[in-house]
């Protein structure tokens, strides 16, 4: 009986670790002309309207400020990541709350070549609940397996091409 509980406990720990593998946040800072852009990939986040924040007394998650329809946590396919960018004025550090943003990503193979369709991200304008305008950011929940991706970012007509690696995927490409 002791052996069975150890095996069951080990299986639960493995299941927990495996389900959270790759859940670590990825963050990359990019400067483009007069903009400082922070690209983040983290675990998927819940979205709320102002009315829902008040009604549910929500203390965490994303407050919808505008833009596209958010991809909810219960959508099919179920999103596993929150792909977003923060945009700041490079000199003042002040968040830019009215940027025109587009985002897309595409999986890359071990040689750094595209290995799937490009995914255009419906961009939601949001703030972290309770954090105010300085937390304004752009993006949405997405489905991204572990691997290396090309992320194309356009902010106010300025294009940035970035590479990120999620999870335990090998990262042998020059960034």
Strands 62-67, 47-48: pairing kind: parallel
How confident is the model at residue 47, as a pLDDT?
98
Per-residue b or e along 24-62, where b marks 16 or more CB atoms closer than 10 Å to that residue's CB? eebebeeeeeebbbebbbeebbbbbeeeebeeeeeeebb
Pairwise CA distance, residues 116 & 114, whole Å: 6
pTM of the model: 0.83
The residues spanned by each domain of the chain are: 23-166
Distances from the Cα of 112 to the Cα of 9, 116, 174, angstroms: 39, 12, 9
- Domain 23-166 of CATH type 2.60.40: yes
CA distances from 155 to 91, 101, 122, 162, 175 (A): 17, 5, 14, 13, 20
pLDDT at position 170 is 55
pLDDT of the chain, 175 residues: tens digit per residue: 444 333 333 333 333 333 334 456 899 999 999 999 999 999 999 999 999 999 999 999 999 999 999 999 999 999 999 999 999 999 999 999 999 999 999 999 999 999 989 999 999 999 999 999 999 999 999 999 999 999 999 999 999 999 999 997 554 433 3
pLDDT at 2: 44
Residue 169 has a pLDDT of 57
């Amino acid at each position: 009986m002791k052996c069975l509980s150890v095996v069951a406990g080990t299986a639960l720990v493995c299941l927990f670790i495996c389900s959270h593998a790759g859940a670590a946040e990825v963050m990359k800072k990019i400067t483009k002309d007069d903009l400082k852009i922070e690209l983040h990939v983290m675990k998927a986040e819940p979205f709320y309207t102002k009315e829902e924040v008040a009604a549910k007394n929500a203390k965490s998650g994303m407050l919808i400020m505008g833009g596209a329809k958010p991809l909810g946590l219960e959508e099919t396919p179920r999103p596993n990541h929150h792909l977003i960018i923060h945009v700041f004025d490079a000199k003042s550090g002040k968040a830019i709350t009215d940027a025109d943003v587009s985002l897309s990503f595409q999986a890359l193979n071990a040689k750094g070549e595209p290995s799937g369709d490009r995914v255009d991200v419906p961009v939601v304008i949001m703030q972290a609940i309770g954090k105010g305008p300085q937390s304004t950011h752009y993006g949405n929940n997405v489905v991204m397996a572990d691997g290396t991706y090309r992320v194309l970012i356009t902010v106010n007509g300025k294009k940035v091409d970035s590479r990120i690696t999620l999870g335990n995927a090998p990262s042998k490409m020059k960034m």
